[in-house]
Amino acid sequence: MAFKKEISEIFNLPVGEVFSTVHIVWTDVGVYIEGVKKILGISGEEVAVTTKEGEVKIFGKNLTICELGGNSLTLSGRVDTVQRVGV
């Protein structure tokens, strides 16, 4: 909780608003998405998910699910593009 409080003070926002968005972190070898509601489709070249802020598509090669739990998804493989649809 100290981290959330510190960030909220830096940006002058309530703690709930600091962490109410979808977080996406990726490199060329994997992607982590927090705020996932549903997996819409998955193949080795494309993964589509819905989040509370809309749809996210990941394009690449050899994409596989490493971890899925709670509201987060971790993929491995070569990630070429991460795209928010309708934003």
Domain edges within the chain: 22-85
The 8-class DSSP code of residue 18 comes to: H
Res 34 pLDDT > 80? yes
pLDDT tens digits, 42-84: 999 999 999 888 899 999 999 999 999 888 899 999 999 989 8
Burial class of residue 8, CB neighbours in 10 A (0-12, 13-18, 19+): middle
Q: Which helix (H) or strand (E) holds 6?
A: helix 2-11
The 8-class DSSP code of residue 19 comes to: T
Q: What's residue 41's pLDDT?
A: 96
Instruction: Using a pLDDT cut of 90, give the percent of the chain over it.
Output: 43
**Distance between CA atoms of 6 and 69, rounded to whole angstroms?**
27
What CATH class has 22-85? mainly beta
